[in-house]
Structure 1
């Protein structure tokens, strides 16, 4: 399968998993448009992507800015949402509700608002691919907020797969991945030893799942777990 001559909008596609997905989609023949709230991140991403790529700065927590962004785009085939802030673990005993709401604002409401604005521009046969996380299935102390966001994303995929049909709506559910969003000092080596695959995921591993879902025209309401077996141990 190929993404040749297809246009893909990647929100959060300027670093980590999003940028790896943009690179892989471009290798498959797609024209990619990346967006982020950080101008320097957009600039760095465009330096790594083919000359056909485009990029812009947009605050994904600002509904008016998101609406204006999509209003200015020509029709496209796929929306990919990978935007997120650095992972913050919040224990209940010291819970900061403002920080918890802020996490939901970008990862959940940002995605919901983007889909609302994007749907009129998605061409026939197109899709939406969101980002969940294995914390929804295997959590721990301090993960209540992060796990809740992932669970909300899972439910959103299933609901919108029906509401937006025939547009396909799916999600990728990464496990531990070596990206800047994980906390400084996180012990990747110890985590790798506990995984059945014996290593930590790289952004390129996860990117393959996003491209698969864009190409797989019989998949909707699907959530693809790519976690090295972390939900099993």
Structure 2
């Protein structure tokens, strides 16, 4: 295992609770963390991604947590919303790899975020299922093409990250916990520990880590 000490980690999609936890944990382990949100980079704009690569320079690790959901009945979906969802989860990460891959130091790694919806699709979540499945497939393809740069994906389940806050949260979480083999919902710490493992294990590549409490099996 390598360490995060003095490593440069770029996190795309810095607005989420999961991203903040990863940034905090990586910083505590000695990493130089560059957190990038929508104001800093537009994943729908290749020039913006190229500019980010120039600003970052050499790096060791990259995590992309960006997401833009297009939920709803398939008969009512908006084409532009679908495109934005694929830009965030698939096209944007491809362009991140295009512009940042040449700047990785030896031992570097990329981590993409998939999601349990790819393995447990539900009505109204067709785009989410498709983009998450594509992210997992992309990680495998990039792991082969960019080798020895390692590329993995992480698929979270239901995580108490703030995204579910609102009326009905407690009831929903109780239902999820009762169905999951782990018998609880996830915490950002669960995802952070797995993410940092994916970055620092030198023999892990082309893999999707399912950190979902067994939710895809329930």
TM-score, with length taken from structure 2: 0.92
Q: 1:168 aligns to what?
A: 150
- Alignment pair present for 1:23 and 2:21: no
- Alignment pair present for 1:214 and 2:196: no
- Alignment pair present for 1:227 and 2:212: yes
1:125 to 107, 111, 120: 107
2:42 to 53, 56, 59: 59
Distance (Å, rounded) in 1 between the aligned partners of 2:100 and 2:165: 31
Distance (Å, rounded) in 2 between the aligned partners of 1:183 and 1:114: 31
Q: Deviations over 1:156-210 (max 9, x none)?
A: 0111111000100001110111234448545223222221222111111101111
Q: 1:103 aligns to what?
A: 85
Q: Deviations over 1:102-139 (max 9, x none)?
A: 21122221211111111111111101011001111111
Aligned length: 214
Q: 1:74 aligns to what?
A: 57
- Alignment of structure 1 residues 81-96 onto 2, 5 Å: 81-85=64-68, 87-96=69-78
TM-score, with length taken from structure 1: 0.86
Distance (Å, rounded) in 2 between the aligned partners of 1:13 and 1:128: 16
Mapped contact 2:9–2:32 kept (Cα < 8 A): yes
Distance (Å, rounded) in 1 between the aligned partners of 2:98 and 2:81: 25
Structure 1 residue 9: deviation in Å?
0.7
Distance (Å, rounded) in 1 between the aligned partners of 2:97 and 2:5: 23
Q: Secondary structure at the match of 2:56?
A: coil
- Alignment of structure 1 residues 187-206 onto 2, 5 Å: 187-206=172-191
**What runs of 5+ residues in structure 1 fail to find an aligned partner?**
39-56
Distance (Å, rounded) in 2 between the aligned partners of 1:180 and 1:96: 26
Mapped contact 2:139–2:151 kept (Cα < 8 A): yes
**What runs of 5+ residues in structure 2 fail to find an aligned partner?**
none
Distance (Å, rounded) in 2 between the aligned partners of 1:223 and 1:132: 8
Give me the CA root mean square deviation.
Answer: 1.6
